[in-house]
Amino acid sequence: MFNGFIKVAAATPHIRVADCPGNAKALQRVMRAAHGDNARLLITPELAVTGYTCSDLFFQDALLKSAEAALLLLAETSLGQDMITIVGLPLRYHGKLYNCAAVLYQGKILGVVPKANIPNYGEFYEVRHFAKAPEENGEIRIGGAAVPFGSKLLFCSDEMPAFKLAIEICEDLWIGNAPSVSHAAAGATIIANLSASNEIVTKDAFRRTLVVSQSAKLVTGYIYADAGDGESTTDLVFSGHNIIAQNGTILAESKPFGPGYAVTELDLEALAHDRRRITTYGAEASEGYLSVPFSMPLTRTQITRAVARHPFIPDNETLRGERCDLILSIQSAGLKKRLEHTGSKTAVIGVSGGLDSTLALLVTARAMDLLNRPRTDVLAVTMPCFGTTKRTRCNAGALCDALGVTLREIDITDAVRQHFSDLGHDESDLDVLYENAQARERTQVLMDVANQTGGLVVGTGDLSELALGFATYNGDHMSMYAVNASVPKTLIRHIIRYYAERLTDDSLARVLLDILDTPVSPELLPAVDGNIAQKTEELVGPYELHDFFLYYVLRWGFAPAKIRRLANHAFAGEYAPEEIDRYLAVFYRRFFAQQFKRSCLPDGPKVGTVTLSPRGDWRMPSDAAARVWLEELSL
């Protein structure tokens, strides 16, 4: 439960209709299995103690007495288990019968939640047997003890404030004004749903959509446990389709007619972060709710859920292609509008033969296509100097030829040398001045070429470079419209590869693939034997790590210790823990020290949830200190 993680499970036991003692044993088995998996919360299906399909047997006192006895046995079973278990059964309250969820922990029944919405249509006839949950909470006596009873109960951990559990039952989810809406507004971070949803054609997809969308709308963890094997098949069949979702993403699922068991970890810190961040998220509807406290010792939850190494890139190939195409469309549409608005005669772009300028050039060509203008209105400028290699120079030229844009070469070597002479700088001193003078000269050339041709300078710098401050202030840091400003380096690679794989033009595809194979470099230091001498990832660290850090720092606001833990899990076997620590420290130092560059960025389109625009998602003082973050990392 450290770092906000809590392991949760949804299990469908094999039951027999109306056999409460036998069903109690089946529930005991799944309780022991989930506890053996270190789950801290287990959800089981609706009315699993009796079976959902008892029909008019629910009117029999013998069944109701047996169900209550089974509940007391299951409560006793929970003693010694640091796990909350929720089981479903019918219970009598104030002369009526209710379809209930009982919450068990450490030998006690913490509370009972009755179903709020009783279906009476299609194959469902619950109104025949069950009453709707009362409006107000009350108390029910079970086994001689008074237990909270009502649909407005919040089960709250003393040790983990973000662990707040609420319950709805089956049909409650399927209505427009689901109880979980009020539960979440009252503070619930986890919604448990005990369900008996029969299986018919396409219902699994609809059920999945309901759970996922509800978890996203409410910014919750949603655990759905479905009835399955053992229910009566007189008219219906149940499949044990269990789903665990968090904020719009399915984390674990037991497929229909599968083993009926799903287990994973919810990240409650992530949910709490998004609720703080989303200012329209309400937290005012707690009236009438009763908080039921419980004490559960904090333990270190082993992470078994997948943690993507490249969080900006979908694992699914189809989704990845759709993402790449959408980003290209966003970038090119943004540039199209800017070119239209400014009346620019040309789009001027510095082309180096590297990843960033390649993507920017592809976007610029596409923008011209959208404007129904010739691609020759794209003015690509190569500006070789001390570090330019034959490979990148040739690739830049071949790329421009294949795209049909106008190419202009302006060698800046003499201009930079004159600048050194004016400053009295020794050219053999390969210091920061030596590097930045080239970057600033290139920017000056592009700006003046734009003035010369009535054009607009298209920026090439990417999100990863902005996060690390790996850009020359008033050099490649500046442009008139920065199309790559919210695209991280790892994603740029995939977009270019996606573009190349869709081409029928083999010559352009070959150039793009060779650019992908070229080491990332600003080429500001002299080449060695004609090869790139300055490799960015050898200087600041692997971009896949920095993009990982960037995602969790900006999107989720996680503390350094949690990001370290996630990185060690995601990159296990690829980077040693000490490497991850070293590069994470590099990230924080550079991120804080270089904010002043981000405070005056040019315009550029937002393409994802993470961006550093000072006018949009990220506001940060340029002189903020990194001490708190670095000290936590050193612990």
Q: For helices 577-593 and 627-634, give the axis angle rounded to 10 degrees.
A: 170
Give the C-alpha separation, 436 to 622, whole Å: 21
Please report, rounded to a whole number, the percentage of residues in the chain having pLDDT higher than 90.
Answer: 90
pLDDT at 548: 98
Segment 116-123 shows an average pLDDT of 90
The answer on pLDDT for 285 being more than 70 is no
Are 42 and 7 spatial neighbours (Cβ–Cβ below 8 Å)? no
355-382 residue pLDDT tens: 999 999 999 999 999 999 999 999 999 9
More confident residue, 503 or 283: 503
Nearest to 11 by CA among 111, 81, 87: 87
pLDDT at 634: 85
Segment 229-236 shows an average pLDDT of 92
26-70 residue pLDDT tens: 999 999 999 999 999 999 999 999 999 999 999 999 999 999 999
- Reported confidence tier of residue 287, pLDDT bands at 50, 70, 90: confident
| Burial classification of residue 227, based on how many CB atoms lie within 10 Å of its CB (0-12 exposed, 13-18 middle, 19 or more buried) | buried
120-177 residue pLDDT tens: 888 888 999 999 999 999 999 999 999 999 999 999 999 999 999 999 999 999 999 9
Instruction: Provide the 8-state DSSP code for 480.
Output: S
pLDDT at 521: 82
pLDDT at 182: 94
| Radius of gyration of the CA atoms of the chain, in A | 30
For the annotated catalytic residues, the residue numbers are 46, 115, 170
pLDDT at 109: 98
Give the C-alpha separation, 50 to 66, whole Å: 9
pLDDT at 536: 82
Q: Is 194 helix (H, G, I), strand (E, B) or coil?
A: strand
pLDDT at 2: 78
| Burial classification of residue 108, based on how many CB atoms lie within 10 Å of its CB (0-12 exposed, 13-18 middle, 19 or more buried) | middle
Are 334 and 604 spatial neighbours (Cβ–Cβ below 8 Å)? yes
pLDDT at 113: 98
pLDDT at 519: 86
Q: In this predicted structure, which of 119-123, 167-171, 343-347, 562-566 has the lowest mean pLDDT? A: 119-123
Give the C-alpha separation, 281 to 504, whole Å: 48
Q: How many CB atoms lie within 10 A of CB 579?
A: 15
- Reported confidence tier of residue 537, pLDDT bands at 50, 70, 90: confident
The answer on pLDDT for 192 being more than 80 is yes
| Chain Cα centroid distance, residue 274 | 11
Average pLDDT, the chain: 95
pLDDT at 371: 98
pLDDT at 523: 78
442-473 residue pLDDT tens: 999 999 999 999 999 999 999 999 999 999 99
pLDDT at 532: 77
Are 323 and 25 spatial neighbours (Cβ–Cβ below 8 Å)? no
- Reported confidence tier of residue 545, pLDDT bands at 50, 70, 90: very high
576-628 residue pLDDT tens: 999 999 999 999 999 999 999 999 999 999 999 999 999 988 999 999 999 99
Give the C-alpha separation, 177 to 501, whole Å: 46
252-284 residue pLDDT tens: 999 999 999 999 999 999 999 999 988 787 766
The answer on pLDDT for 402 being more than 80 is yes
Strands 41-43, 96-105: pairing kind: unpaired
